[in-house]
Amino acid sequence: MPPATLRNHLLDRLSADDRKAILAATTSFEFELGHVFSEAGDAVGHVHFVLSGIISAVAGMQDGRTVETFMVGREGVTAPGAVNVPVRTYSRLVGQSAGQSLRIEIARLRALCDERPDLRMVVALYAAGLQGELEQSGACNALHRSDQRFSKWLLRCHDRLDGDTLHLTQEYLASLLGSQRTTVNEAAQGLQKAGAITYSRGRVTIVDRAALERAACECYRHGQRSSLDIPQPQ
Ligand SMILES: [Zn+2]
Protein backbone atom coordinates (compact mmCIF):
# COMPACT_ATOMS: atom_id res chain seq x y z
CA MET A 1 0.00 0.00 0.00
CA PRO A 2 1.40 3.45 -0.87
CA PRO A 3 2.36 5.81 2.03
CA ALA A 4 -0.44 7.88 3.64
CA THR A 5 0.76 11.02 1.88
CA LEU A 6 0.25 9.33 -1.49
CA ARG A 7 -3.22 7.93 -1.08
CA ASN A 8 -6.59 8.99 -2.33
CA HIS A 9 -9.43 8.98 0.19
CA LEU A 10 -11.99 7.72 -2.34
CA LEU A 11 -9.86 4.78 -3.42
CA ASP A 12 -9.12 4.04 0.25
CA ARG A 13 -12.83 3.44 0.78
CA LEU A 14 -12.96 0.64 -1.77
CA SER A 15 -12.54 -3.07 -1.15
CA ALA A 16 -9.06 -4.43 -1.91
CA ASP A 17 -10.42 -6.06 -5.06
CA ASP A 18 -12.08 -2.88 -6.38
CA ARG A 19 -9.00 -0.84 -5.55
CA LYS A 20 -6.75 -3.29 -7.34
CA ALA A 21 -8.94 -3.14 -10.45
CA ILE A 22 -8.90 0.63 -10.62
CA LEU A 23 -5.19 0.92 -9.84
CA ALA A 24 -4.50 -1.41 -12.77
CA ALA A 25 -6.41 0.94 -15.07
CA THR A 26 -4.71 4.16 -13.98
CA THR A 27 -1.36 5.71 -14.80
CA SER A 28 0.69 7.83 -12.44
CA PHE A 29 0.72 11.52 -13.31
CA GLU A 30 2.85 14.31 -11.88
CA PHE A 31 1.78 17.92 -12.18
CA GLU A 32 3.41 21.25 -11.51
CA LEU A 33 1.98 24.49 -10.19
CA GLY A 34 0.13 26.08 -13.10
CA HIS A 35 -0.30 22.88 -15.12
CA VAL A 36 -3.51 23.18 -17.15
CA PHE A 37 -5.43 19.89 -17.11
CA SER A 38 -8.28 21.17 -19.26
CA GLU A 39 -9.93 24.37 -20.38
CA ALA A 40 -13.55 25.35 -19.74
CA GLY A 41 -15.74 23.65 -22.33
CA ASP A 42 -13.41 20.73 -23.00
CA ALA A 43 -14.96 17.27 -23.16
CA VAL A 44 -13.81 15.20 -20.18
CA GLY A 45 -11.43 12.60 -21.59
CA HIS A 46 -9.62 11.62 -18.40
CA VAL A 47 -10.16 12.13 -14.72
CA HIS A 48 -7.56 12.34 -11.96
CA PHE A 49 -7.74 10.77 -8.51
CA VAL A 50 -5.47 13.18 -6.64
CA LEU A 51 -2.75 11.70 -4.41
CA SER A 52 -0.95 14.90 -3.41
CA GLY A 53 -1.10 18.58 -4.29
CA ILE A 54 -4.20 20.51 -5.30
CA ILE A 55 -6.09 20.91 -8.56
CA SER A 56 -8.26 24.04 -8.71
CA ALA A 57 -11.29 24.71 -10.88
CA VAL A 58 -10.93 28.32 -12.00
CA ALA A 59 -13.78 30.20 -13.65
CA GLY A 60 -12.93 33.01 -16.05
CA MET A 61 -15.07 36.02 -16.84
CA GLN A 62 -15.23 37.93 -20.12
CA ASP A 63 -13.29 40.84 -18.60
CA GLY A 64 -10.39 38.51 -17.82
CA ARG A 65 -10.97 38.20 -14.09
CA THR A 66 -10.78 34.74 -12.59
CA VAL A 67 -11.83 32.99 -9.40
CA GLU A 68 -11.39 29.53 -7.97
CA THR A 69 -14.74 27.77 -7.67
CA PHE A 70 -13.54 24.61 -5.92
CA MET A 71 -10.40 22.62 -5.22
CA VAL A 72 -9.66 18.92 -5.42
CA GLY A 73 -7.01 17.28 -3.30
CA ARG A 74 -6.43 13.74 -2.06
CA GLU A 75 -10.04 13.60 -0.87
CA GLY A 76 -11.39 13.57 -4.41
CA VAL A 77 -11.38 13.17 -8.15
CA THR A 78 -11.73 15.68 -10.98
CA ALA A 79 -15.01 15.82 -12.95
CA PRO A 80 -16.90 13.20 -10.89
CA GLY A 81 -20.09 13.88 -12.86
CA ALA A 82 -18.47 12.45 -15.99
CA VAL A 83 -18.68 8.96 -14.52
CA ASN A 84 -22.37 8.77 -15.39
CA VAL A 85 -22.79 10.96 -18.44
CA PRO A 86 -20.50 12.60 -21.01
CA VAL A 87 -19.99 16.16 -19.79
CA ARG A 88 -17.79 19.11 -20.54
CA THR A 89 -15.85 20.98 -17.90
CA TYR A 90 -17.34 24.28 -16.73
CA SER A 91 -14.05 25.75 -15.51
CA ARG A 92 -10.36 25.53 -16.30
CA LEU A 93 -8.68 22.84 -14.20
CA VAL A 94 -5.22 23.90 -13.12
CA GLY A 95 -2.52 22.67 -10.72
CA GLN A 96 -2.69 25.05 -7.77
CA SER A 97 0.00 23.18 -5.87
CA ALA A 98 2.33 20.62 -7.48
CA GLY A 99 1.48 16.99 -6.83
CA GLN A 100 0.64 13.55 -8.14
CA SER A 101 -2.50 11.87 -9.33
CA LEU A 102 -3.75 8.63 -10.79
CA ARG A 103 -5.09 9.36 -14.25
CA ILE A 104 -7.74 7.21 -15.89
CA GLU A 105 -9.54 7.44 -19.21
CA ILE A 106 -13.18 8.28 -18.56
CA ALA A 107 -14.50 5.44 -20.78
CA ARG A 108 -12.42 3.00 -18.77
CA LEU A 109 -13.70 4.39 -15.49
CA ARG A 110 -17.31 4.16 -16.68
CA ALA A 111 -16.82 0.52 -17.66
CA LEU A 112 -15.30 -0.21 -14.24
CA CYS A 113 -18.19 1.54 -12.49
CA ASP A 114 -20.65 -0.65 -14.42
CA GLU A 115 -18.94 -3.73 -13.03
CA ARG A 116 -18.24 -2.36 -9.55
CA PRO A 117 -21.16 -0.54 -7.88
CA ASP A 118 -19.15 0.52 -4.82
CA LEU A 119 -16.77 2.42 -7.07
CA ARG A 120 -19.68 4.26 -8.68
CA MET A 121 -21.10 4.93 -5.21
CA VAL A 122 -17.95 6.53 -3.75
CA VAL A 123 -17.61 8.80 -6.79
CA ALA A 124 -21.32 9.70 -6.60
CA LEU A 125 -21.04 10.47 -2.86
CA TYR A 126 -18.07 12.69 -3.56
CA ALA A 127 -20.00 14.47 -6.35
CA ALA A 128 -22.94 15.03 -3.97
CA GLY A 129 -20.61 16.43 -1.31
CA LEU A 130 -19.03 18.74 -3.86
CA GLN A 131 -22.45 19.98 -4.93
CA GLY A 132 -23.22 20.78 -1.28
CA GLU A 133 -19.94 22.62 -0.96
CA LEU A 134 -20.67 24.68 -4.08
CA GLU A 135 -24.08 25.64 -2.70
CA GLN A 136 -22.46 26.76 0.55
CA SER A 137 -19.85 28.69 -1.44
CA GLY A 138 -22.62 30.60 -3.23
CA ALA A 139 -23.93 31.73 0.15
CA CYS A 140 -20.42 32.35 1.51
CA ASN A 141 -19.41 34.58 -1.38
CA ALA A 142 -22.54 36.67 -0.91
CA LEU A 143 -22.58 36.92 2.87
CA HIS A 144 -19.12 36.51 4.37
CA ARG A 145 -16.21 38.94 4.55
CA SER A 146 -13.13 38.46 2.41
CA ASP A 147 -10.86 37.89 5.45
CA GLN A 148 -13.16 35.07 6.64
CA ARG A 149 -13.16 33.53 3.16
CA PHE A 150 -9.40 33.87 2.90
CA SER A 151 -9.00 32.04 6.24
CA LYS A 152 -11.36 29.32 5.08
CA TRP A 153 -9.44 28.94 1.86
CA LEU A 154 -6.07 28.67 3.69
CA LEU A 155 -7.50 25.96 5.96
CA ARG A 156 -8.82 24.05 2.99
CA CYS A 157 -5.36 24.16 1.37
CA HIS A 158 -3.72 23.16 4.67
CA ASP A 159 -6.00 20.10 4.89
CA ARG A 160 -4.83 18.91 1.50
CA LEU A 161 -1.11 19.61 1.68
CA ASP A 162 1.79 18.25 3.67
CA GLY A 163 3.53 20.88 5.77
CA ASP A 164 2.50 24.34 6.87
CA THR A 165 3.82 26.54 4.07
CA LEU A 166 1.98 27.46 0.88
CA HIS A 167 3.90 28.96 -2.01
CA LEU A 168 1.61 31.51 -3.60
CA THR A 169 2.19 35.01 -4.92
CA GLN A 170 -0.20 37.85 -4.04
CA GLU A 171 -1.26 38.09 -7.69
CA TYR A 172 -2.02 34.38 -7.83
CA LEU A 173 -3.88 34.51 -4.52
CA ALA A 174 -5.95 37.43 -5.76
CA SER A 175 -6.79 35.62 -9.01
CA LEU A 176 -7.85 32.51 -7.09
CA LEU A 177 -9.96 34.40 -4.58
CA GLY A 178 -11.52 36.83 -7.04
CA SER A 179 -10.21 39.73 -4.95
CA GLN A 180 -8.01 42.73 -5.47
CA ARG A 181 -4.37 42.34 -4.47
CA THR A 182 -4.89 44.98 -1.81
CA THR A 183 -7.81 43.02 -0.32
CA VAL A 184 -5.69 39.87 -0.10
CA ASN A 185 -2.87 41.87 1.41
CA GLU A 186 -5.12 43.40 4.07
CA ALA A 187 -6.60 39.99 4.95
CA ALA A 188 -3.12 38.46 5.18
CA GLN A 189 -1.82 41.30 7.33
CA GLY A 190 -4.79 40.94 9.67
CA LEU A 191 -4.14 37.22 10.08
CA GLN A 192 -0.46 37.86 10.62
CA LYS A 193 -1.24 40.39 13.32
CA ALA A 194 -3.52 37.83 15.01
CA GLY A 195 -0.59 35.37 15.00
CA ALA A 196 -2.36 32.89 12.71
CA ILE A 197 0.06 33.06 9.79
CA THR A 198 3.30 34.58 8.66
CA TYR A 199 3.24 36.08 5.24
CA SER A 200 6.07 37.22 3.03
CA ARG A 201 6.38 37.46 -0.74
CA GLY A 202 4.90 34.32 -2.23
CA ARG A 203 4.91 32.39 1.03
CA VAL A 204 2.16 31.84 3.57
CA THR A 205 3.03 29.79 6.66
CA ILE A 206 0.31 28.65 9.02
CA VAL A 207 1.68 29.04 12.55
CA ASP A 208 -1.51 28.84 14.64
CA ARG A 209 -4.17 26.73 13.02
CA ALA A 210 -6.65 27.22 15.87
CA ALA A 211 -6.44 31.01 15.39
CA LEU A 212 -7.02 30.54 11.67
CA GLU A 213 -10.08 28.38 12.40
CA ARG A 214 -11.45 31.12 14.66
CA ALA A 215 -10.93 33.66 11.87
CA ALA A 216 -12.69 31.53 9.23
CA CYS A 217 -16.44 31.56 8.63
CA GLU A 218 -18.71 28.60 9.42
CA CYS A 219 -18.41 27.46 5.80
CA TYR A 220 -15.04 25.85 6.51
CA ARG A 221 -16.73 23.29 8.78
CA HIS A 222 -19.48 22.78 6.24
CA GLY A 223 -16.96 22.10 3.49
CA GLN A 224 -15.11 19.64 5.68
CA ARG A 225 -18.30 17.70 6.29
CA SER A 226 -19.33 17.61 2.66
CA SER A 227 -16.11 16.79 0.88
CA LEU A 228 -13.72 15.24 3.36
CA ASP A 229 -16.00 13.01 5.36
CA ILE A 230 -17.63 10.79 2.79
CA PRO A 231 -19.60 7.93 4.36
CA GLN A 232 -18.72 4.36 3.48
CA PRO A 233 -20.99 2.94 0.75
CA GLN A 234 -23.59 0.56 2.25
ZN1 LIG B 1 -18.41 31.54 4.50
DSSP string, the chain: ---GGG--HHHHTS-HHHHHHHHHH-EEEEE-TT-EEE-TT-B--EEEEEEEEEEEEEEE-TTS-EEEEEEE-TT-BS-GGGGTS--B-SSEEEEEEEEEEEEEEHHHHHHHHHH-HHHHHHHHHHHHHHHHHHHHHHHHHHHS-HHHHHHHHHHHHHHHSSSSEEE--HHHHHHHHT--HHHHHHHHHHHHHTTSEEEETTEEEES-HHHHHHHS-THHHHHIIIII-PPPP-
Mean pLDDT of the chain, nearest integer = 90
The model's pTM is 0.91
To the question of domain 145-216 being in CATH 1.10.10.10, the answer is yes
Ligand 1 centroid–CA 139 distance in Å is 7
Ligand 1 centroid–CA 151 distance in Å is 10
Judge whether residue 201 has pLDDT over 80.
no
Q: Using one digit for the tens of pLDDT, what is the confidence trace for 124-137?
A: 999 999 999 999 99
Ligand 1 centroid–CA 57 distance in Å is 18
Q: Residue 4's pLDDT is what? A: 59
Q: Using one digit for the tens of pLDDT, what is the confidence trace for 55-64?
A: 999 999 999 8
Tell me, yes or no, if the two domains 4-141 and 145-216 fold the same way. Answer: no
Alpha-carbon distance of 158 to 72, in angstroms, equals 12
Ligand 1 centroid–CA 194 distance in Å is 19
Ligand 1 centroid–CA 212 distance in Å is 13
To the question of domain 4-141 being in CATH 2.60.120.10, the answer is yes
Q: Residue 232's pLDDT is what? A: 55
Average pLDDT over residues 173-194: 85
Ligand 1 centroid–CA 146 distance in Å is 9
Q: Using one digit for the tens of pLDDT, what is the confidence trace for 90-113?
A: 899 999 899 999 999 999 999 999
Ligand 1 centroid–CA 113 distance in Å is 34
What is the pLDDT confidence band of residue 230, given thresholds at 50, 70 and 90?
Answer: low
Ligand 1 centroid–CA 71 distance in Å is 15
Ligand 1 centroid–CA 70 distance in Å is 13
Ligand 1 centroid–CA 133 distance in Å is 11
Ligand 1 centroid–CA 143 distance in Å is 7
Q: Residue 174's pLDDT is what? A: 81
Residues in the chain: 234
Judge whether residue 5 has pLDDT over 80.
no
Ligand 1 centroid–CA 75 distance in Å is 21
Ligand 1 centroid–CA 149 distance in Å is 6
Average pLDDT over residues 138-162: 93
In the chain, where the domains are located: 4-141, 145-216
Identify which of 201, 149, 199, 156 has the alpha carbon closest to the alpha carbon of residue 179.
149
